[in-house]
A and B are shown apart, each in its own frame.
Chain A
């Protein structure tokens, strides 16, 4: 089992750090492009959601992200001490309004549900624990896995 853990802030730097960390972790372990890209989408949705809505005091907060690879399953655990929120409970995006006009909103977690193999949540004490899992083909000896390269193939 290989893993990496980082503490991030509830601002744009948090999402950027997580994105870069996942890229490096995936490249190091030869995780192929499509699962990596899909996990990057998932992480941006979850991390930005926590950053935006986790705390209502407007202050700076830190939360933990742990990325683990075991048996070709990449697991991402996010633990925060924000207000209780189960992201699995988010309603699906609203239907288009009059005239077929689609409104923004609700798309992010709708994407997450479709992009992961496992999506769990529990509240333990004062913390939210979200765990996302995705099967991926990992090869520790490979040098591929950088989505920038994948895009050009």
Chain B
């Protein structure tokens, strides 16, 4: 495990910018995620897909960032969607009452098919 607990990478698949998160998202690194997502939106990305399939867990600091980034995307005529929200990560979304607060699109493949 990396010291900061989270790896953030992104790549392009057609018109979609896929952000892959790997590790844990908590109060110690949520700001890094905000900077990364805001940077993509500011750079003009219109379809941002955040893949949570390799996330071990996330805390309210991460939910805050995802909510703020979703708003930020909308203000820039872009959209931010999530995919691979599974297992314990999905349970945390459910416990937080946050499943309906985001666009959640199944697996990465399913999400890309819908966004393409």
Contacts and interface: CB of A to CB of B under 8 A. Distances in A.
A140 interface: no
A147 interface: yes
Interface string A18-50: 010001000000000010011011001101100
Contacts of B68: 104
B63 A107 contact: yes
B26 A19 contact: yes
Interface string B47-81: 00000001011111101100110000000000000
A15 interface: yes
B96 interface: yes
Question: Main SS of chain A's interface residues?
Answer: helix
Interface stretch (A69-77, A95-103, A125-133): A95-103
B103 interface: no
Contacts, number: 80
A39 to B, nearest CB: 10
B59 A41 contact: yes
B65 to A, nearest CB: 9
Interface stretch (A1-9, A60-68, A79-87, A108-116): A108-116
A16 interface: yes
Interface residues of A, number: 30
Nearest to B54: A151
A93 B56 contact: no
Contacts of B97: 93, 107, 110
Contact of B60 (A23, A96, A108, A147): A108
Contact of B27 (A15, A34, A111): A15
B28 A110 contact: no
A45 B60 contact: yes
B75 to A, nearest CB: 13
Contacts of A96: 101
User: For A38, A45, A47, A111, which residue has the most chain B Cβ atoms within 10 angstroms?
Assistant: A111
Q: Which 3 residue pairs of A and B lie closest in terms of their CB atoms, listed nearest first?
A: A108-B60, A102-B101, A48-B27
Interface of B: 1, 3-5, 24, 26-28, 54, 56-61, 63-64, 67-68, 88, 92, 95-98, 100-101
Given A34-B88, A104-B63, A147-B56, 11 more contacts: A12-B28, A15-B26, A19-B24, A47-B27, A104-B60, A107-B64, A107-B97, A107-B98, A108-B61, A111-B60, A151-B56
